[in-house]
A and B are shown apart, each in its own frame.
Chain A
């Protein structure tokens, strides 16, 4: 099974900060990597698919990069509504990373 490891597991940041989250796959997954945002009590939201394609309606401050085994999600300027948990997912067998909780500093 392909394992996905996210880092950090949590971070504190201020509004306006640039935030970067990393996801590592246990073997190459080409660009088959998705990113989701989820908040308690809400439906999770697809942000990025195919490593760097922005889902429709998602603000352009979100971006994704990487291929093979190392991927990053970047929020260029953190907004109040971005405080949430972010999870990566490899789409070979749908395994998710452990999640990164972004908290207010």
Chain B
């Protein structure tokens, strides 16, 4: 079954770090980039960054540069997202999502076709 299974909810204190995992199954893990997206209470979805599971290269959204690290373990088909120096505004549901590309008439379109169910991270003193 093609799916992304994320780790369970976390509660952290301000200043701490959190590491969320996303295990892929049912497809070739190294063939598709993976993204991380979060949704804070009352706000819209926010793209955090992406990792290429094949070589491990990453691209992060500017606002998370220096605070987020995305890694992968090809032996377990798992990607990880670690966020440091947590503050209350980081309270959110964090999702992993698979990248797909569709090309037509010489134009390529990118989208996220498979998502995990999300991991709630609560930052509270």
B109-A96 in contact (CB<8A)? no
Could you tell me which B residues sit within 8 Å of A by CB distance? Answer: 4, 35, 37, 43-47, 95, 97, 102, 104, 107, 109-118
Could you tell me which A residues sit within 8 Å of B by CB distance? Answer: 6, 30-32, 34, 36, 38, 41-46, 49-50, 53, 55, 87, 89, 91, 93-99
- Chain B residue numbers with a CB within 8 Å of A31 are 107, 109
B46-A96 in contact (CB<8A)? yes
A51 to B, closest residue via Cβ = B109
14 A-B pairs with CB atoms under 8 Å apart are A6-B44, A36-B112, A41-B118, A43-B118, A44-B97, A46-B111, A49-B102, A49-B111, A50-B111, A55-B113, A87-B44, A89-B111, A91-B111, A98-B43
Which of A6, A46, A50 has a CB less than 8 Å from the CB of B112? A46
- Chain A residue numbers with a CB within 8 Å of B113 are 46, 55
